[in-house]
């Protein structure tokens, strides 16, 4: 019997990638303005994403607050183009988060699905990100809300999923987790005995050996999948 349906946040309930790219473009334009030249001019959003991913991998297991990772990525970006200016890195970091917050929004299917599910199941959030679901009004559907940065661990660490179960007063066999990342969301949930639903909005191929318990292209498909397991 399914009692709990928990969700990832970034790129599952809200569109993190679109807001992130917009914020990076604005910070890049700011950098071009304050430090014009060939080194800054050669930077692109894609390169900034690549640098951030490298920094995140280096800090994996030591830093769980993604805001700290992002700040470190701006410092590394400037370092790689020969700029030693911690104040500028902090300025770009603050600008990034301000722009991201202004441009982030929940997916259109998030609220209707949470409304539908919350009347029949306990619905919760487990996220590695730092976005507060209250800014979208989603917090009224989500209990508990578990942020990795508060727990000293990050998905796919099974400890986070066990915290989710404990705070939800649910057994692993009674829980479902929905997320867009096979490695972080599906593998992490399954390692804890929780069923994992892979949200694959773009229909990309699964080139891993991770086999989700179900795959959907929209959150609107989640209730039918969960009801089938109930």
pLDDT at 33 over 90: yes
Counting Cβ atoms within 10 Å, is residue 209 exposed (0-12), middle (13-18) or buried (19+)? Answer: exposed
Give the residue-averaged pLDDT of 86-91: 97
Residues 140, 122 contacting (CB under 8 angstroms):
no
Hey, CA dihedral for 228, 105, 164, 58, is it positive or negative? positive
Statement: residue 230 has pLDDT above 80: no
Average pLDDT score over residue span 4-16: 97
CATH homologous superfamily of 16-103: Putative phosphatase; domain 2 (1.10.150.240)
> For 53-74, how does the pLDDT look when each residue is reduced to its tens digit (9 = 90+)?
999 999 988 898 999 999 999 9
Residue 79 pLDDT greater than 80, yes or no: yes
Reply yes or no on domain 4-15+105-229 having CATH 3.40.50.1000. Answer: yes
Among residues of the chain, what percentage have pLDDT more than 90?
95
Please, how many CA atoms are within 13 Å of residue 200, restricted to the half-sphere of its CB? 17
The answer, yes or no, to whether residue 162 has pLDDT greater than 90, is yes
Q: How many residues does the chain have?
A: 230
Beta partners for residue 34, in sequence order: none
Mean pLDDT of the chain: 96
> Any idea where the domains of the chain sit in the sequence?
4-15+105-229, 16-103
What pTM value is reported for the model? 0.92
pLDDT in tens, 134-148: 999 999 999 999 999
Edge-first strand order for the sheet with 4-7 is 145-147, 122-127, 4-7, 175-179, 195-199, 214-216
Residue 15 burial (CB count, 10 A)? 18
pLDDT digits (tens, 9 = 90+) for 100-120: 999 999 999 999 999 999 989
pLDDT of residue 64: 87
């Amino acid at each position: 019997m399914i009692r709990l349906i928990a969700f990832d946040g970034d790129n599952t309930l809200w569109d993190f990638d679109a807001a992130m790219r917009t914020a990076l473009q604005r910070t890049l334009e700011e950098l071009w303005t304050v430090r014009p030249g060939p080194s800054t001019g050669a930077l692109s959003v894609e390169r900034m994403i690549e640098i951030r991913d490298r920094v995140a991998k280096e800090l994996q297991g030591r830093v769980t607050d993604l805001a700290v990772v992002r700040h470190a990525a701006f410092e590394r970006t400037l370092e790689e183009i020969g700029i030693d200016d911690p104040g500028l890195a902090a300025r770009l970091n603050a600008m990034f988060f301000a722009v991201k917050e202004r441009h982030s929004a929940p997916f259109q299917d998030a609220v209707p699905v949470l409304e539908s599910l919350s009347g029949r199941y306990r619905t919760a959030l487990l996220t590695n990100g730092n976005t507060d679901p209250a800014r979208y009004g989603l917090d009224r559907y989500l209990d508990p809300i578990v942020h990795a940065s508060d727990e000293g661990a990050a998905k796919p660490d099974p400890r986070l999923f066990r915290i989710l179960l404990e705070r939800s007063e649910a057994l692993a066999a009674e829980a479902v987790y929905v997320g867009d990342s096979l490695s972080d969301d599906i593998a992490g949930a399954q390692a804890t005995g929780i069923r994992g639903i892979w949200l694959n909005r773009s229909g990309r191929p699964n080139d891993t050996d991770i086999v989700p318990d179900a795959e959907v292209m929209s959150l609107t498909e989640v209730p039918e999948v969960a009801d089938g397991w109930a």
